[in-house]
Structure 1
Amino acid sequence: MTSRDDVVLLAEEHPLLGSALRQLHAATRSLQLAAPVGRLRWAPTMPPAKTCVLWLHEATWRRIHSTRPARLLRRWGNRCRRMLVVESAKDIERSVSRKLLRFDQAETVSVVMISKDLRSAQVFAHTIDCVDRTLLGTSLVANATARTPGDVAVVPERRTSGCRGGCGRGPTWFVEGRDELRGHTLRVATTAAVDTIYARFVTENGVRRTVGVEVNMLKMVSKALGFKYELTEPTDLHGLFGQEENGTWTGVIGMILNGSADMAIGDISVTLARSRVIDVTYPFHQEPVSFMLRRPPLLPRWVAIAAPFDATTWGVLAAALTIATLLFAAVPALSGGPAAIGGWTRLTNAGFVVWASITGQDQVPDPRHALGRCVALLWVVFSVIIGVYYQTMLVSKLSVPVYGRPVNSLEDLALSPFQVKSASGTAATVYLESFRGADTLFARLPEKMTLFPIEDLTSSTAPLDDRAAYVNELGHLQHALKDRKDRHLYYISRARFFQTGLAWPVRKGACFARRLNTSVMRLLQSGIVELWLSVARIRDRPEPAAPRALTVGDMAAALLVLTVGGAAATLVFVLELVLNQRSRRAQKEAWSRVSRRLTRAQPPWGQRAVREGTENGGDSAGPAPTAPPPERERY
């Protein structure tokens, strides 16, 4: 203890207490004396101290032994960086100070043992290696003696090794615990068996090794902190990422809890249940959650002719065509037609002009006035825009398969007939369960949710339920579709409704987690983690489908229009022939009746000529009557 230390002394009556108070008061910056009350609680008015001295009677220590030493640690160990225990002389293996040690915190605990005659004392320090969880007792003062009882003075020697910070500036009462990773070997459990971009197996030249984004991070961190690592994996892939079953944890979380691993990597999300049993490092990525389901059935190809516009647009376009036709028919000056024609004819001509302009034909209005030209120009521009847009959208609808309305939000999923499947033990499952019993539409989601093992999703051969939506992290869903042969039958929704943090789980209270946090944050600040993720996603992206030629099925809409148009034209042509034939027969019959009437009303041609000659006084034997003119062909 030095002049920079704040010391709290928890002491009971002892003959050497007065001498100790004088020494501590002279050697430290501040000293506060606390009497043990009740269960040795930390008084609310007491500030956190750098060093705590516990000087209790043997009966009090026995009472602590009979209960739980961890209770004292919870009340004092979290407030004191270092603890000095004063007790009667005994074997160091039986010292109460060993009960106050916590390997995971790399605490510094020393013990002063005073003989019963108060003539000698010994000082021991416990050297803790929290990484390997080992303990080594170090003697700082072998034997300090006094001539008279109660006059013993314990002054440890100066040390130049095995300490940090205070070496060389004063007596060394403590040996700092070791929480450095340099020179150690960590056992790291992986989830590479599910084959994600964060950790997966690859085989090169017959040798299998683990690669991925988190493996790259682990290499950089181990190089910076100077430790080695050994990668291992659970023997049972059930619950690989860690889930609680009947009070027992499976997967990599179970390996950390049973001591077979120090930490784990491989796309492990942070959940509340996992945080209760293990600690996690600083999250290095926020992965969104979405869901994957089967595509809606393909729309028939003949529907492509109406697919470029929705129902509302078609209605507005029909109204525009009707209004334009009536306007062109009501105002002949807009189309340039004669004003003397009938109303039905003007309406027919206007409809032809409007339809020809909207379909890109050569028939365009020819107005006579400037105002009519402006109105006609606006209609032509409108027709060109609508025509180009329709043709472009029609080509795209014919070139790309057109599906029904997708499910692209949680609201759509709640209202849809699809079941919900979520991986057990994941953050997405916990999020969906939070809606159970809520007075919202989302309360339907947990009611129709079932759990499934994550291995079924990551396997490229496992069958998928066509009536279910699979909820998981976006990276898992993208990787699940990458290697499936039927990936064209499924799609990932555009919904991004939750962000789950990815981090490295370590054993509860691991002292080296602080150093891992520092290294992970430095990697994030450098931007190299995002670079690795971007490169991995590009490599994991499925190859785009090659362009293909249009088939007869793709041209079903065009062929349908052509067939319907040809049939309509043929029908009109046949009707026209029939009507024309009837019209010609009726005209011929009408001319025949007129001819017969004229024939009855007039004499024959020869008699009429003689009569005309007699009446005119001419010779009755005049010129021979000529033949009547040929009858005109009637149509």
Structure 2
Amino acid sequence: MASPLPVTLLLRRHQARAAPTMLSFIPASTETRCSTPHCTPTTPGRPMWMCGLITQMRVLILVWVTWIAAGDKIMVQNSLHHNISELTHQGHSATALRHPRGHSATTQSEEEDWNESLGRMLARVVKREMRHCNLVVAYDSGYDSHQVLQPLLALPNPRQVVEVHTVADLLRVEWVSMGCRGFLLLLSRPTPLLTLSETRPLLWDYRGRYLCVLPSRGDLEELAGSLKGRKTEHLVGVIKGTSPGTWQVYVNQLYRGGQLVGRVAIWRGRRFISGGVIYRDRVADLKGTTLKAVTFEWAPSVFYYRDVDGSVLFRYGTDIGVLDTIARVMNFTVRYEEPPEGERWGREEENGTWSGMMGRLSRNEVDIGLVDLYVTHVRIAILDYTTPYDSELSCFMARTEPPLPRWQSLAFPFQATTWMAIAVGLVVAGPVLALLARGSALCGEEETSLQSLDVSWYYALGLHCCEAQVRIPRMQSTRVFVATLWIYTIILTIVYSTNLTAFLLVTKLPATIETIKDLYASGLEVSGVGKFYGDALGSASDPYLKSLQKKFRAYGDAAEIFPRVLSGSAVMIQNSPFLEFVAATRFATRGQSRMRLMKECFAPFSIALAVQRHSPLKQNFDKIIGWANNAGLPRYFFLRSLRLYRQNEEVAEEGVTALTVEHLQGIFFILILGMFLSGLSFILEQVVG
């Protein structure tokens, strides 16, 4: 049964009715007069019995109004209907109190109160929280009322007004624009909006401010749990309250588990009786909720600290440090997961889907992705990147070529031309010394042995070998030449012995590939983890880099590439920190690594975290990463991770290097050569003799 009219409206309408007429069946000759304040004996034509009847009727009306205020509708209506029928049967006009007409007026009045209250609330919210926003007002026939729309149309905000009948009407809305956007969606039939919320992901302003007036809380929850609702930070819903003019205001609860919406305010008549500010930053403090992040071990970005049984105790590294900082500021915890085995970052399949980390982010299965993620235009269509916090070069790692034989180190101190000059000097020094000694003998007495060519050569060779000579020239000219020869050989032997010490301790490497041009000319395979670097080479502007794409081969794991690099049949392409870390830790022995980085690198890439496409986390993530960059935290996390890694791993102590037979093999070769030549000379002497 419909509720009766409000008390004030009933009384106002009753007073507007015509005055009661005389009851024709009452005798006019009756002399009895009433003595009540409402009917005095001086009132002409008012007998006493009529005054009593009027008084009773007024009492009945007051009782009816009192019972309506108390809420006892059924009893009051039945009682009044009976009494009014009796009075009408006696000739009184009681049309203003008939039930059917009163029921229709009551429903219309309540709707007017709700609409008027809603119009005031919408105007208040726009003035206070969308003052500088462009508006979109979308309504259907349920809210096609001047009481609702007129306050909005009177606002100075630029706006687009759309009447909604089907989803096609919502497609006409300008969903994408620069600056602040406010969307007032007034829909008594929410089906078009709920359909749009699950389709066409690009037709939605995920940063806009939404105020949706819908029939029920269930509709609000369905909208908040939709594909677009889960990624819209400022999504506000309004439904009717229990009393006329009352509206309940709800907001979506992002990252709160099962609860999709929560009530934040109540509007009644002209003001909020609870709450007030609707559009707050509700992502800045996630109140300890758990977010899922996908990562895998990839030093030095992400390290795993494992127990003896191989289980992961905790993670650390540059990327982990950045995410932990964000988690502390925004008050959430992280649950780490890994991509399927062998997929790592993932790649785009032939059917358009993505595998690995990228696939899980594109399917909204996880909230965050991290591990040395390059910012590239290829992935922008399926995810969003945060502000970069690091940058890296793409380099090539090749094997360290085997050093030259140690015995060759005896010749390394001088170049070939230097050795030729020394040999010429030695050959010339012997005859010059012999000629000077013979010439000096003509003018005076000179050492007889120096006049022999054989002895002079041995004399000069002894000086080159720092061997003291007991024969001293007697003539001045010969002494000057010998003194000059002493100075020459002293300097020569000191320089040689000094360089020889260095070359005995440091291995000399052969000529290696150092430039991209050399790599292209070598014909070696270029190996990488996944197809990312193959695409990067193909998009390069350098012709040599572009040509390397034909030699690129993708592998599922770096461990498959290392043997090929060590065998010299391939080089590995990857970011420089990873290659430097691998070369220095996995393939180093006593400070010497079997892997090395080529000198020429290419394509610096920015490193960032990845979040879901249109994720509401991005804005706050960007802000905190900016603070971390200004404080130098990424570099601090990198150095701290390396220190922790060295503490956890066994690192061999490097001391003074002792010379081995390998270092001195050259002198043994000379000894063996000398023995062979001596034996050969002895045989020749015996044969000739």
TM-score scaled to structure 2, two decimals?
0.61
- Provide the secondary structure at the position in 2 that maps to 1:6: coil
Change (3 A) 1:65 1:503: closer
| 2:354 is aligned with 1:228 | no
Partner residue of 2:495? 386
Partner residue of 2:421? 319
Contact 1:7 1:53 in 2 (8 A): no
Deviation at 1:419, TM superposition (A): 1.6
Partner residue of 2:151? 20
| 2:315 is aligned with 1:211 | yes
Contact 1:294 1:467 in 2 (8 A): no
2:537 is aligned with what amino acid? L
- Provide the secondary structure at the position in 1 that maps to 2:384: strand
1:463-612 pair list within 5 angstroms: 466-477=568-579, 480=582, 482-483=585-586, 490-495=594-599, 497-498=601-602, 499-538=604-643, 539-540=645-646, 543=652, 550=659, 552-572=661-681, 575=684
Root mean square deviation of aligned Cα = 5.1
Contact 1:289 1:497 in 2 (8 A): yes
Contact 2:397 2:598 in 1 (8 A): no
Deviation at 1:42, TM superposition (A): 5.4
Partner residue of 1:277? 382
1:142-182 deviations in whole A, cap 9, x for unaligned? 675xxxxxxxxxx4426546x3xxxxxxxxxx444622343
1:2-55 deviations in whole A, cap 9, x for unaligned? 37822435569974588426753xxxxx533557799757599x9734645578
Contact 2:197 2:223 in 1 (8 A): no
Partner residue of 2:409? 304
Quick check: 404-413 or 199-208, which moved more? 199-208
Deviation at 1:208, TM superposition (A): 4.0
1:76-475 pair list within 5 angstroms: 77=205, 81-84=208-211, 90-91=215-216, 102-109=229-236, 125-132=249-256, 135-136=260-261, 138=263, 155-157=270-272, 159-160=274-275, 163=277, 174-176=278-280, 178-192=282-296, 198-203=302-307, 208-213=312-317, 214-234=319-339, 236-246=340-350, 247-309=352-414, 313-319=415-421, 321-322=423-424, 337=437, 339=439, 355-362=461-468, 379-380=488-489, 382-396=491-505, 400=507, 402-426=508-532, 428-435=533-540, 440-454=543-557, 456-457=559-560, 466-475=568-577
User: CA–CA distance in 1 between the matches of 2:625 and 2:479?
Assistant: 74
Contact 1:365 1:376 in 2 (8 A): no
Deviation at 1:83, TM superposition (A): 4.2
Q: Unpaired runs of 5+ in structure 1?
A: 25-29, 114-119, 145-154, 164-173, 582-635
Partner residue of 2:29? none
1:414 is aligned with what amino acid? Y
Partner residue of 2:32? none
User: CA–CA distance in 1 between the matches of 2:662 and 2:281?
Assistant: 76
Change (3 A) 1:430 1:186: farther
Change (3 A) 1:100 1:122: farther
User: CA–CA distance in 2 between the matches of 1:100 and 1:485?
Assistant: 51
- Provide the secondary structure at the position in 1 that maps to 2:369: strand
Change (3 A) 1:22 1:273: closer
- Provide the secondary structure at the position in 1 that maps to 2:554: strand
1:542-599 deviations in whole A, cap 9, x for unaligned? 53677775554554322221122233344445656776x5xxxxxxxxxxxxxxxxxx
- Provide the secondary structure at the position in 1 that maps to 2:408: helix
1:104 is aligned with what amino acid? K
User: CA–CA distance in 2 between the matches of 1:383 and 1:504?
Assistant: 61
Change (3 A) 1:66 1:228: closer
Deviation at 1:447, TM superposition (A): 1.4
Contact 1:294 1:491 in 2 (8 A): yes
2:385 is aligned with what amino acid? V
Among candidates 123, 129, 132, match of residue 6 of structure 1: 132
Contact 1:131 1:181 in 2 (8 A): no
2:272 is aligned with what amino acid? E
- Provide the secondary structure at the position in 1 that maps to 2:158: strand
User: CA–CA distance in 2 between the matches of 1:195 and 1:22?
Assistant: 59
Quick check: 271-280 or 376-385, which moved more? 376-385
1:422 is aligned with what amino acid? G
- Provide the secondary structure at the position in 2 that maps to 1:245: coil
Contact 2:426 2:461 in 1 (8 A): no
Partner residue of 2:118? none
Change (3 A) 1:502 1:357: farther
User: CA–CA distance in 2 between the matches of 1:277 and 1:268?
Assistant: 14
Change (3 A) 1:531 1:3: closer
Among candidates 9, 28, 32, match of residue 158 of structure 2: 32
Residue identity (%): 16
User: CA–CA distance in 2 between the matches of 1:492 and 1:10?
Assistant: 61
Change (3 A) 1:19 1:522: closer
Deviation at 1:450, TM superposition (A): 0.8
1:413 is aligned with what amino acid? L
Change (3 A) 1:266 1:304: same
1:446 is aligned with what amino acid? Q
Q: Unpaired runs of 5+ in structure 2?
A: 1-125, 139-143, 164-168, 443-449
Deviation at 1:202, TM superposition (A): 0.9
1:419 is aligned with what amino acid? E
The number of aligned residues is 528
Contact 2:409 2:500 in 1 (8 A): no
Deviation at 1:377, TM superposition (A): 7.8
Deviation at 1:248, TM superposition (A): 3.1
- Provide the secondary structure at the position in 2 that maps to 1:189: strand
Change (3 A) 1:90 1:217: closer
Change (3 A) 1:570 1:84: same
Deviation at 1:510, TM superposition (A): 1.7
Change (3 A) 1:69 1:6: farther
Change (3 A) 1:290 1:66: closer
Deviation at 1:422, TM superposition (A): 0.6
Contact 2:299 2:578 in 1 (8 A): no
1:103 is aligned with what amino acid? R
User: CA–CA distance in 2 between the matches of 1:288 and 1:404?
Assistant: 26
- Provide the secondary structure at the position in 2 that maps to 1:421: strand
User: CA–CA distance in 2 between the matches of 1:42 and 1:202?
Assistant: 53
Contact 1:308 1:394 in 2 (8 A): yes
User: CA–CA distance in 2 between the matches of 1:418 and 1:159?
Assistant: 73
